Amino acid sequence: MRIWTMGYYPFTLGGGTEHPVACEIDVSSLKKHPIGKGYHAYLLLSPGGKNVVVESIGGGIVGNNLATVREDVRTAKKSVMAEQMEMSRIASKHPRELIEEKEFWRRWDGSDWEFEDE
C-alpha cells in the first residue's frame, strides 16, 4: 500500500511549499481498524517508535492515536469525510515524491534510527 503525508519543500526564491510525499509499505499482516462512518485505518508503529494511523483508502497519515481519529470522524460531516478521502486517494496516486520506505520514515520520524538490516 502507498502511504503519504505532506512534506515541506524549500522554494528557491524563499519560503517553501508543501506537497505529498509517499512510499510503499506492506500492510498484508496488519489489521484494519474501524474509525467510523464506514471508514477504516491501519495502526502502524514507525521504525522510530511512534504510533501512526493511516486511513485505508488513500493511505494518508491521519493521526497518532485511534481514539483521537475516531473522535474526529465522529464529529465530521459525512460529505467532508468523502471529499477528504477522495483528495487522499488522488494525493496517493500523484505524489510529488515517491521515495523509499526507509527515507520516508527518516523524514517523518525526524530521528536518527536505523533499520534492523543495517
For 93-115, what is each residue's pLDDT tens digit? Answer: 999 999 999 999 988 887 555 55
Structure confidence by residue, pLDDT tens digits, 12-64:
676 667 889 999 999 999 999 999 999 999 999 998 899 999 999 999 999 99
Q: How many CB atoms lie within 10 A of CB 63?
A: 19
pTM for this one? 0.86
Question: Rounded to whole angstroms, what are the CA distances from 111 to 19, 105, 106?
Answer: 21, 9, 6
Nearest to 101 by CA among 59, 38, 67: 59
Scanning the structure block, which residue is given the C-alpha cell 538490516? 117
